[in-house]
Amino acid sequence: MMNNYSMIINGQSVAGEAGSFAVIDPATAAPFAECQAASLAQLNQAVDAADTAFNTWQHSSHDERKALLHKIADSIEAHAAELAEVIVREQGKPLPLAQMEVGGAVAWTRYTAELEIPVEIVEDSENKRIEMHRKPIGVVGSILPWNWPLMIAVWHIMPALRAGNTVVVKPSPLTPFNTLRLVELMNEILPAGVVNVLADERELGPAMSSHDKIRKIVFTGSTPTGQHIMRSAAANLKRLTLELGGNDGGIVLPGADLDAIAEGIFQTSFLNMGQTCAALKRLYVHESQYDELSNKLIAIAQQQKVGSGFEEGVSFGPLQNKMQYDLVNRLIAEAKADGATINETADIPAGNGYFIAPTIVTNACAGMAVVDQEQFGSVLPVISYTDVEDAIAQVNASENGLGGSVWGADIDEAQKVASRLECGTAWINGHAEVLPHAPFGGCKMSGFGVEFGQEGLLEYTTIQVVNINR
């Protein structure tokens, strides 16, 4: 069935001109389907289609766009079971989590539909009126990751459309099918050319970044790729939203209620098998509670059921790809060699799937790769600290600045510590919670620009000041 999902250019299904590539089921490490690949000539066709469609789409009314986005949400909802199944097959997450991803895509689409784009009055005096208008930018290029492939597609595409832009989207070659299906569904509702989708293994992303007719790139992925996009985008001064790597630190303050927070810490560290940009990836615990909290987290890890996302009762699926699987295994092995303790965890199924059970690494410290590097997988280093000032300094020592968290019983104290973290979002007694109405983005090497809410929508617009002399 998935082999039949097509790329879309100007509202039409198209066959790829650059052959095809295998898509791997991470639960078996074996190919389950072939995806067609687009040529660079087809990229130009897609951008031209989006550019032509923009001439009309930019003048559509806010009410029209709202109504169409709600219709898209209806269609995603109607095809929820199919989309969730595709996510499990190509991404690997357990089916309930995939169903949550589809539900989130629906909710985000509906919320984005209802956002307003106001005209701001800068001056309104006897002789002059100055208005600040927000206009769409043009063709937006969306380059997607493999960890939340449907949800992040919605995060990129829906605000672009709501603001009056047209879109060319490229899914990750590791998880192309749910995005292809999403854009098929959207093209049953939208005018031709408004959203186009192309898949390939490696050439399209760089070509999109330097394309002279693409006016903005929105990218979620690694910092090195984001840097490459930024260099390529200089040719026509593209607008950019870059949501890049995160190595989020969390600080547990002395006296925290460990029974109240242990489950939350575990779930937000291992959300999507740890393959979430804003997951908690380094945990700093005061020495007075270090052993107790470590033991609680180890116990939760041992309770997980690891297996195929389609298997009943599975709470923990495979990592998505071999590169990530090899990286996480290497980080665990290096941590052990460096003197950290690798704690016993849940059983993994036999076979060739990319399974690594959730792994708590104790006696970890700065200087170990598992602490200093973003793992993006099913491992959590737990670091003991003596002084809160030192914990803050260690969290801020990372070159990343996506998210951070503080866990403690005293909210005022936690807020004081949170305000000193160098990150785009600081959570208190939580982590990794992203919401459609709360702006989200990073600082330092975690990128720039925000997504979600009014601020996220306005990232897809350009300002025009209208200066009226009466």
DSSP labels, 341-369:
EE-------SSSS-----EEEEEE-TTSH
Q: Which residues of the chain have pLDDT under 50?
A: none
- Give the separation between CA 209 and CA 234, rounded to whole angstroms: 9
Residue 49: what pLDDT? 99
Helix, strand, coil % over all residues of the chain, rounded to 5: 40, 25, 35
- Cβ 314 vs Cβ 306: under 8 Å: yes
pLDDT averaged over every residue in the chain: 97
Q: Which residue has the tokens 């898949």?
A: 199
Coil, strand or helix: which one is 334? helix
Helices (H), 58-176: 62-78, 80-91, 95-113, 149-162
Do 2-244+446-469 and 248-435 fold alike per CATH? no
Longest CA–CA separation in the chain, Å: 79
| Domain 248-435 in this protein, CATH class | alpha beta
Q: Which long-range contacts (CB under 8 A, 24 or more apart) does 207-212 make?
A: 207/40, 207/43, 208/43, 208/141, 208/143, 208/168, 208/170, 209/141, 209/143, 209/233, 209/238, 210/235, 211/43, 211/47, 211/141, 212/236
Q: Pick 2-244+446-469's CATH classification: 2.30.30.30, 3.90.650.10, 2.40.50.140, 3.40.605.10.
A: 3.40.605.10
Token code pair at residue 219: 């990218």
- Cβ 321 vs Cβ 24: under 8 Å: yes
What are the residue numbers of the active site? Answer: 243, 277
Coil, strand or helix: which one is 135? strand
Residue 172: what pLDDT? 98
For 267, counting Cβ atoms within 10 Å of its Cβ (0-12 exposed, 13-18 middle, 19+ buried), the class is middle
**Rounded-to-10 torsion of CA 364, 368, 372, 373:** -110
The residues near 242 (Cβ < 8 Å, ≥ 6 apart) are: 219, 226, 229, 230, 447, 448, 449
- Cβ 137 vs Cβ 212: under 8 Å: no
- Give the separation between CA 357 and CA 385, rounded to whole angstroms: 26
Whole-model pTM over 0.95: yes
Give the CA count within 13 Å in the CB-facing half-sphere of 288.
10
Token code pair at residue 306: 């690891």
* β pairing state of 239-243 and 341-342: unpaired
Can you name the residues that pair with 440 across neighbouring β-strands? 451
Helix pair angle (149-162, 95-113), 10° resolution: 10
Per residue in 343-392, pLDDT (tens digit) is: 999 999 999 999 999 999 999 999 999 999 999 999 999 999 999 999 99
Residue 396: what pLDDT? 98
Residue 4: what pLDDT? 84
- Give the separation between CA 201 and CA 205, rounded to whole angstroms: 9
The residues near 328 (Cβ < 8 Å, ≥ 6 apart) are: 274, 319, 356, 375, 376, 377, 378, 379
- Give the separation between CA 469 and CA 38, rounded to whole angstroms: 51
| Domain boundary assignment for the chain | 2-244+446-469, 248-435
Residue 1: what pLDDT? 62
Coil, strand or helix: which one is 79? coil
